[in-house]
Amino acid sequence: MDKWLFLAFMNFMLLFIFLTSFFVNKTSNSGIFFGVRFPKEYQEEKELKDIEKSYRIVISIIFFIMLLGVNILFFNLDNYSENTLGFIMAILIIGSLIISFIVYIPYYKKVKTLKKHRDWTYTKRNVVVVETTLRKPKKDEKIKPIDSKWFLLLFIFPLISILVTMYRYDALPKVMEIPYTSFGVFKKETLRGHFIIYQFPIVQVFLTALLYGINKVIINSKVDLNSGSIEKAIIRKRKFKKIGSILMMVMILQMLIMFSLIQASILFNFDPMIINYVFMVIFMITMIIFIIIFIKIGQGGRNIQTKGEKDELYKDDDDKWILGSIYYNKNDPAWMVEKRLGVGWTVNFAHPKSWIAVGGLIVFIISNIIMSILLT
């Protein structure tokens, strides 16, 4: 892995985590402030704004120190290996996420205590709204996510890669150079083998299946209709699901094309390094664009302008969210729900399916680690 490319990517990831932390309230679901739900009339209180200002100063100082430390470390790093850089990257990303959450916790507790002491809630207005078209959009619906069947068509990429690989396999030399990372680094003198040659088409199959599943989750996941007016909240949710679905399609197309070209470099013996650099830049630009979009619209489309909107949907559900971010509700049949804190989706940890999903993710991570060890 090129040291400077790694440094650029690491800075990008740290800045990404910083921005999602800095704008945690702007990107969280409607009516949510540091993981606590507030009626619309209290969301602009000065005490809440002062707490947010303090949090932003603290998180900015911490991430500035982290970014400075990472850059100083790598500018003075001479002897390094692929495995060392990969290990450092994993530790930095996981560590920054943990630090960000640790900083958030005391502010969550402050806000929750403030809400209780000030009695900033509705005692007579707790409503439940069910809107089935958000999970199963009508065929003539103008604002809806990309249909999952279009993701199934993307299996044509790994299929073509596999067929071309089968055709070219016998013509390949017994000792080859195989790019085993997405940064264009080569492992010299690799013996030809079916697993080695087919590793990228296998990755393509997995990625296509994964993104297909994620798009299904986007369409079918339970939405948060607990703040704002009914009609306008539904419109916001539809727009948010559509944008999330478009992001999935753009990302999977980029990755499938990149892996197809890397596989072609193996089969037809050309240097894929420029391909990897170009796609890394394109991927970063794409992520920056979508980060800006999601900060602007917020989770579930909360920041989409709605003039004169009344708070018809307020429902105090703080007791269902541990630390304002972990959903645990035995009475909710849904196992996938919108995140309360930040942008995205999460699981209902009271539902058995969520533990199956978490277990599958752990198995996948361990399998990748084992595969990386075997390949190196």
pLDDT digits (tens, 9 = 90+) for 12-56: 889 889 988 998 888 887 778 898 888 777 878 889 899 999 999
Nearest to 342 by CA among 281, 306, 284, 294: 294
Beta bridge partners of residue 348, listed in sequence order: 327
Calpha distance 339→212 (Å, rounded): 20
**Is residue 336 domain-resident?**
no
Q: pLDDT digits over 135-162, tens only?
A: 566 666 666 777 778 888 889 998 998 8
Alpha carbons 65 and 68: distance in angstroms, whole number: 5
pLDDT of residue 64: 94
- The whole model's pTM is what? 0.71
Whether residue 28 lies inside any domain: the answer is no
How many domains, in total, are found in the chain? 1
Distance CA 320, CA 360 (A): 25
- Please tell me the distance from the alpha carbon of residue 339 to that of residue 347, in angstroms, as a whole number: 8
pLDDT digits (tens, 9 = 90+) for 306-341: 555 554 556 777 888 888 888 888 888 878 787 888
Spatial distance between the Cα atoms of 333 and 325, rounded to a whole number of angstroms: 18
Residue 193 has pLDDT above 70, yes or no: no
- List the domain range (segments joined by +) for residue 234: 144-310
219-222-228 Cα angle (round to 5): 110
Distance (Å, whole) CA 95 – CA 74: 17
pLDDT top residue among 261 and 107: 107
Give the CA distances from residue 359 to residues 329, 349, 376, in Å, rounded to whole numbers and listed in that order: 19, 12, 26
Is the confidence at residue 297, as pLDDT, over 80? no
- CA 66 to CA 124: how far, in whole Å? 47
Residue 238 phi/psi, 5-degree rounding, is -65, -45
Q: Would 246 be classed as within a structural domain?
A: yes
Q: Which pLDDT belongs to residue 106?
A: 94
Q: Flag whether pLDDT at 103 surpasses 90.
A: yes
Report whether pLDDT(165) > 80: yes
- For Cα atoms 180, 259, 207, give the angle at the middle one, nearest 5 degrees: 100
Q: Is the model's pLDDT at 125 over the cut of 60?
A: no
* CA–CA dist 339, 223 (Å, integer): 9
Match 């990404």 to its residue by tokens: 16
Does residue 188 register a pLDDT over 50? no
The whole-angstrom distance between residue 310's C-alpha and the CA centroid of its chain comes to 31
CA 123, CA 303: separation in Å to the nearest integer? 26
Domain assignment present for 18: no
In this structure, is residue 129 part of a structural domain?
A: no
Domain presence at residue 117: no
Quote the pLDDT of residue 182: 43
pLDDT at position 94 over 80: yes
In whole angstroms, give the CA distance from residue 317 to residue 324. Answer: 10
Distance CA 353, CA 155 (A): 26
175 in a structural domain: yes
* Structural domain includes residue 135: no
User: What digits encode the pLDDT tens for the residues 209-250?
Assistant: 888 887 777 777 666 555 555 666 677 777 777 877 888 788
Distance CA 374, CA 187 (A): 13
Q: Which residue type is seen at 321? A: W
